[in-house]
Amino acid sequence: MRMLITLISAGVLTGVAAAGPQADDYTMGASRQVDPKEERGAELLAPFKRELKNALLEGMAAGPAAAIDACKLEAPAIVARLSTDGAIVGRSSHRLRNPANAGPEWVSPVIAAYLADKDGWQPRVIELDSGRTGYIEPIVLQPLCATCHGTDLKPEIAERLAELYPEDLGTGFEVGDLRGVFWVEF
C-alpha cells in the first residue's frame, strides 16, 4: 500500500507541477519576467490544486472508484470554500466530464489556443472587464490520470463514471494530452 501511495503521489505531483509558474522557472537562468498578476493568479490557484490533489490521493488509496467519488463530491466543496474575497477558482476542459465545470466565457478561447499550439502551454493572464483579471494554467494528462481519463478504462471505472456522469466526455485522453485547465478570476 505504501508503494501504491508513493506512485500515486509522484504521478499527481507531476501533473500539478506541470502547470503553473514554479520558482525555479524564474530563478535558474530563465530570462522571462514574472507578471505580478501571474504571480497572484498562481498564488490563488495553489490551495485549490493542493487540496484537490490531496482529495484524489486519499481517494486513490481506497481505489479508483473512491477517487472518482472524491472528485465528484469534494472538488465542488473545495471550489466553494476557496472562491472568496472576490476570487473565483475552477477547472474546466474542452471535453467536460461534469457540465458544472464549464468555465466562464474567457476560458474557452484560451483552451482553444492551447489545443492549437502545444508549445504555447504556459500560464496566461487575461485582462477582463471591470478591472478583473483571469489567470489560467494547462492541465496535462499524467499516467495516473489515465486511470479515469484514458482510453482503456477498467470496467468498474467505466461503470462508475457512467453512473455518476452519464454525459461524460472526459475519457479517451492519452498521457501528455491537454486534459483541461485550472483557472482563477480575481
Per-residue pLDDT in tens (0 to 9) along the chain, 186 residues: 333 333 333 344 334 434 444 433 333 445 557 789 999 999 999 999 999 989 888 888 888 888 898 888 889 999 999 999 999 999 999 999 999 999 999 999 999 999 999 999 999 999 999 899 999 999 999 998 899 999 999 999 999 999 999 999 999 999 999 999 999 999
Q: What angle do CA 13, 14, 15 make, to 5 degrees?
A: 90
Any idea where the domains of the chain sit in the sequence? 2-185
Q: Residue 58 has what pLDDT?
A: 87
* This prediction's pTM: 0.80
CB atoms within 10 A of CB 23: 8
41 and 125 Cβ atoms separated by less than 8 Å: yes
The gap between the terminal CA atoms of the chain, to the nearest Å, is: 40
Dihedral through CA 157, CA 160, CA 162, CA 164, nearest 10?
-140
SS3 category, 178: strand
Q: What is the DSSP letter of 101?
A: G
Other beta carbons within 10 angstroms of residue 92's beta carbon come to 20
CB 121 within 8 A of CB 138: yes
Residue 128, pLDDT score:
96
Residue 137: per-residue pLDDT: 97
